[in-house]
Structure 1
Amino acid sequence: MIEPIIVGLAFVAGLGFRRAGMPPLLGYLVAGFIAGGLQIGDAEVIHALSEVGIILLLFTIGLKLNLRELLAPQVWATASLHTAIVVPLTAAMLLSLPWLLPGVAEVETSVAWMLAFALSFSSTVFAVKIFDERGEGAALHAKIAIGILVVQDIFAVSYLVLSAEHAPSPWAFALLGLPLLRPLLAFFLKQAGHGELLVLFGIAVALGSAELFDMLHLEAGLGALLFGVLLSNISKSVELYKSLINFKDIFLTAFFLSIGYSGLPSGEMLLVACAIGLLIFLRPLIYFLLLLTFRLRARTSLLVGLSLFNYSEFGLIVAAMAVKGGQLPAVWLTTLAVAMALSLFVAVPFNTHVHLLYGRLASRLQKLERSELLIQERPVDLGDAEIVIFGMGRIGSGAYEYLSQHYPNKIVGVEESADKALKLRLSGVSCVPGDASDRDFLERADLHKRKTILVSLTNHSENIDVVKMLQHLDYKGKIAVVSRFPDQQEELISLGCITFNLYAEAGHGFAERVMEEMS
Structure 2
Amino acid sequence: MFDPLIIAIALACGLISRAVGLPALIGYLAAGFVLNKFHIQAGTLLESLANIGITLLLFTIGLKLQPRELLKPKIWGTSLAHMVVMQSFFLGILLIAGFMIPGINLDFTGALIVAFALTFSSTIFVIQVLQDKGEMSSKHASHAIGILLIQDVAAVLFLVASKGALPKPEAILLLFLFPLRGVIQQLLGRAGHGELLTLFGFALALGGAHLFELVGVKGDLGALFLGALLAGTQKSKELSRRLIQFKDLFLVCFFLSIGLAGWPTEGMLLVAIILGLLVVIKPVVYFPLMTLLHTPPRTALLCASAMGNYSEFGLVVIVLAGKAGWIDMQWGSAISVAIAVSFIFSSSLNLRAHSLYRRYHSFWLNFESSKVTEDTPDTEGARIIVLGMGNIGTGAFDTIAEKHGRAVLGVDINAQKLQEHSRVHRRVVSADASDPDFWYRVNLAEIDLVLIALTHHEENMLVANMVRELGYDGKIAAVVRFNEEAKELEANGFSAFNLYEHAGAGFASHAAQRL
Regarding TM over 0.5, the answer is yes
Partner in structure 2 of residue 97 of structure 1: 97
1:493 and 2:493 correspond: no
Deviations 1:413-439 (A, max 9, x none): 211222222222223333222111112
User: Offset of 1:399 from its aligned partner?
Assistant: 2.4
Write the distance in 2 (CA, Å) between the matches of 1:515 and 1:34: 64
Deviations 1:100-150 (A, max 9, x none): 54x343531221122112222222222233333334444433333233223
Determine helix, strand or coil for the equivalent of 2:328. coil
- Using a 3 Å threshold, how does the CA distance of structure 1 residues 363 and 117 change in structure 2: closer, same or farther? same
Conserved 8 A contact 2:397-2:410 = yes
Conserved 8 A contact 2:448-2:474 = yes
The AA in structure 2 aligned to 1:121 is F
Partner in structure 1 of residue 52 of structure 2: 52
User: Offset of 1:242 from its aligned partner?
Assistant: 3.5
Conserved 8 A contact 1:53-1:255 = yes
- Superposition RMSD on alpha carbons, in Å? 2.7
Write the distance in 1 (CA, Å) between the matches of 2:433 and 2:408: 16
Write the distance in 2 (CA, Å) between the matches of 1:374 and 1:172: 49
Write the distance in 1 (CA, Å) between the matches of 2:209 and 2:169: 17
Deviates more, 1:393-402 or 1:477-486: 393-402
1:381 and 2:378 correspond: yes
Deviates more, 1:271-280 or 1:194-203: 194-203
Deviates more, 1:183-192 or 1:222-231: 222-231
1:441 and 2:438 correspond: yes
User: Offset of 1:285 from its aligned partner?
Assistant: 1.2
Conserved 8 A contact 2:155-2:314 = no
- Using a 3 Å threshold, how does the CA distance of structure 1 residues 46 and 366 change in structure 2: closer, same or farther? farther
Deviations 1:436-474 (A, max 9, x none): 111211222222222111112222221111121111112
Structure 1 portions without partners, runs of 5+? none
Conserved 8 A contact 2:65-2:149 = no
Partner in structure 1 of residue 269 of structure 2: 270
Write the distance in 1 (CA, Å) between the matches of 2:292 and 2:141: 18
Write the distance in 2 (CA, Å) between the matches of 1:105 and 1:62: 36
Write the distance in 2 (CA, Å) between the matches of 1:86 and 1:489: 46
User: Offset of 1:258 from its aligned partner?
Assistant: 4.5
Conserved 8 A contact 1:262-1:337 = no
The AA in structure 1 aligned to 2:277 is L
Partner in structure 1 of residue 368 of structure 2: 369
User: Offset of 1:38 from its aligned partner?
Assistant: 4.1
Partner in structure 1 of residue 411 of structure 2: 414
1:290 and 2:284 correspond: no
The sequence identity of aligned pairs, in percent, is: 41
Which of 473, 478, 481 aligns to 2:475? It is 478
Conserved 8 A contact 1:189-1:201 = yes
Partner in structure 1 of residue 148 of structure 2: 149
Partner in structure 1 of residue 116 of structure 2: 117
Conserved 8 A contact 1:123-1:311 = yes
Write the distance in 2 (CA, Å) between the matches of 1:420 and 1:507: 28
Write the distance in 1 (CA, Å) between the matches of 2:433 and 2:231: 26
Deviates more, 1:184-193 or 1:76-85: 76-85
Partner in structure 1 of residue 387 of structure 2: 390
User: Offset of 1:495 from its aligned partner?
Assistant: 0.4
Question: Within 5 A, what are the aligned runs for 1:22-421?
Answer: 22-38=22-38, 42=42, 44-98=44-98, 100-101=100-101, 103-105=102-104, 107-373=106-372, 378-421=375-418
- Using a 3 Å threshold, how does the CA distance of structure 1 residues 27 and 338 change in structure 2: closer, same or farther? closer
The AA in structure 1 aligned to 2:185 is A
Determine helix, strand or coil for the equivalent of 1:165. coil
Write the distance in 2 (CA, Å) between the matches of 1:390 and 1:287: 29
Conserved 8 A contact 2:32-2:256 = yes
Write the distance in 2 (CA, Å) between the matches of 1:373 and 1:437: 17
Conserved 8 A contact 2:383-2:407 = yes
User: Offset of 1:87 from its aligned partner?
Assistant: 1.4
User: Offset of 1:11 from its aligned partner?
Assistant: 4.8
Determine helix, strand or coil for the equivalent of 1:345. helix
Structure 2 portions without partners, runs of 5+? none
Write the distance in 2 (CA, Å) between the matches of 1:50 and 1:297: 39
- Using a 3 Å threshold, how does the CA distance of structure 1 residues 483 and 8 change in structure 2: closer, same or farther? farther
Determine helix, strand or coil for the equivalent of 1:96. helix
Write the distance in 1 (CA, Å) between the matches of 2:344 and 2:46: 21
User: Offset of 1:261 from its aligned partner?
Assistant: 3.1
Write the distance in 2 (CA, Å) between the matches of 1:155 and 1:501: 44
Partner in structure 1 of residue 448 of structure 2: 451
- Using a 3 Å threshold, how does the CA distance of structure 1 residues 286 and 165 change in structure 2: closer, same or farther? same
Determine helix, strand or coil for the equivalent of 1:141. helix
The AA in structure 1 aligned to 2:220 is G
Write the distance in 2 (CA, Å) between the matches of 1:401 and 1:28: 49
Write the distance in 2 (CA, Å) between the matches of 1:78 and 1:517: 56
User: Offset of 1:205 from its aligned partner?
Assistant: 1.5
- Using a 3 Å threshold, how does the CA distance of structure 1 residues 43 and 303 change in structure 2: closer, same or farther? farther
User: Offset of 1:95 from its aligned partner?
Assistant: 1.2
User: Offset of 1:262 from its aligned partner?
Assistant: 3.6
Write the distance in 2 (CA, Å) between the matches of 1:7 and 1:428: 56
The AA in structure 2 aligned to 1:69 is E
Deviates more, 1:395-404 or 1:457-466: 395-404
Deviations 1:216-257 (A, max 9, x none): 343433322322222223353333334434444444444554
User: Offset of 1:66 from its aligned partner?
Assistant: 1.5
Determine helix, strand or coil for the equivalent of 2:179. helix
User: Offset of 1:80 from its aligned partner?
Assistant: 2.1
- Using a 3 Å threshold, how does the CA distance of structure 1 residues 6 and 300 change in structure 2: closer, same or farther? same
Conserved 8 A contact 2:41-2:260 = no
The AA in structure 2 aligned to 1:315 is G
Question: Within 5 A, what are the aligned runs for 1:459-478?
Answer: 459-478=456-475
User: Offset of 1:276 from its aligned partner?
Assistant: 1.3
User: Offset of 1:67 from its aligned partner?
Assistant: 0.6
Determine helix, strand or coil for the equivalent of 1:479. strand
User: Offset of 1:475 from its aligned partner?
Assistant: 1.0
Conserved 8 A contact 1:59-1:226 = yes
Write the distance in 2 (CA, Å) between the matches of 1:314 and 1:500: 42
Write the distance in 1 (CA, Å) between the matches of 2:495 and 2:61: 35
Determine helix, strand or coil for the equivalent of 1:467. helix
- Using a 3 Å threshold, how does the CA distance of structure 1 residues 462 and 192 change in structure 2: closer, same or farther? same
Write the distance in 1 (CA, Å) between the matches of 2:503 and 2:34: 45
Deviates more, 1:339-348 or 1:39-48: 39-48
User: Offset of 1:2 from its aligned partner?
Assistant: 4.8
Give the TM-score taking structure 1 as reference length: 0.90
